[in-house]
Amino acid sequence: AQSVAQPEDQVNVAEGNPLTVKCTYSVSGNPYLFWYVQYPNRGLQFLLKYITGDNLVKGSYGFEAEFNKSQTSFHLKKPSALVSDSALYFCAVRDDRNTPLVFGKGTRLSVIA
Amino acid sequence: DAGVIQSPRHEVTEMGQEVTLRCKPISGHNSLFWYRQTMMRGLELLIYFNNNVPIDDSGMPEDRFSAKMPNASFSTLKIQPSEPRDSAVYFCASSPLGRTMNTEAFFGQGTRLTVV
C-alpha cells in the first residue's frame, strides 16, 4: 500500500525568502506524485504533479517540486515566498495500479511579512 | 465547467438524525471519490466509484455510512444515525477514468458537517 509522510506540521518563512515543504512517499511500483493547496474554507486545489520525465516539475503560482527517487522524496519549493502563499499544503501519491490518491496529513505554511 | 459541486456547504444536525451529502462531479469524469478531513486524521478516503460502481468502500468507518452513485452526474453520502464524532469536512472529488493514473483529482468545496 502507498503512503505519504509530511514531517512538518508547520513551516514558517519570511516573505521573499525561499520555501520548502517536505514530502516523502512509499509505493510499490512507479509513483505518481501530486501537490495540492487548501485555503481556508475551500477545497483542495491542484498545484503540480510528477508522472515521468524531468525530475524538476513546475506548477501553478511559481511553485516547483523535485522528484528524488533514491530518497523517495518530492519536496515542494518556491524561490521567493509571498504572504498569499500561506495555506495548508498536501502531498499525495498513487501507484501504477489505478488506485486513488493517498494524501499526507498536510503542512501549514505561514509566510510572514 | 463549474467544477465539482457539493451541497450543502454547511450542515448542522442533532445526534441521531440522518444526514445526506450530495455531489455532482465534473461532466465526463467517471471516477468519483469521497474523502473526509479532520484535524486528527487528515484526509481519509471513504469510498470511490468507477463508472458509477463502488470499487472500494473499506474506508467507510461504520455501517452508519453509505454512499450511492445512481448515475454519472450524481452521488450521495449518507450517515444514519449521525454522531458527534462524524463532525468533519467531507469532500467529493472526480477525475477521468482511463487516464486516472496520471490525472489529478478535482475537488469540490466540501461540506462542513457539525453533529451536536
pLDDT in tens, A5-49: 999 999 999 999 999 999 999 998 889 999 999 998 888 999 999
Longest CA–CA separation in chain B, Å: 42
Answer yes or no: do B101 and A105 touch at CB < 8 A: no
pLDDT exceeds 70 at position B96: yes
User: How does DSSP assign A66-110, residue by residue?
Assistant: EEETTTTEEEEEESS--GGG-EEEEEEEE-TT-PPPEE---EEEE
Instruction: Give the number of other CB atoms < 10 A from CB of residue A20.
Output: 15
- Residues in B touching A105 (Cβ below 8 Å): 42-43
Q: Does B25 touch chain A (CB under 8 A)?
A: no
C-alpha cell at A44: 483542495
Let me know: does B96 contact B33? Beta carbons within 8 Å: no
Residue position matching grid coordinates 465534473: B26
Let me know: does B86 contact B33? Beta carbons within 8 Å: no
CA–CA distance, B103 with A4 (Å, rounded to integer): 18
Q: Does B46 touch chain A (CB under 8 A)?
A: no
Coil, strand or helix at A26:
strand
Mutate to test the interface with B, among A97, A101, A102 (most CBs of B within 10 A): A101
Q: One-letter amino acid identity for B83?
A: E
Coil, strand or helix at B77:
strand
Let me know: does B30 contact B36? Beta carbons within 8 Å: no
Residue position matching grid coordinates 524561490: A79
Answer yes or no: do B43 and A100 touch at CB < 8 A: no
pLDDT in tens, B6-63: 999 999 999 999 999 999 999 999 899 999 999 888 999 999 999 999 999 999 988 9
CA–CA distance, A8 with A82 (Å, rounded to integer): 19
pLDDT exceeds 70 at position B84: yes
- Residues in B touching A47 (Cβ below 8 Å): none
Q: Give me chain B's average pLDDT, please.
A: 93
Q: How many angstroms from the chain centroid is the CA of residue B50?
A: 14
- Residues in A touching B49 (Cβ below 8 Å): none
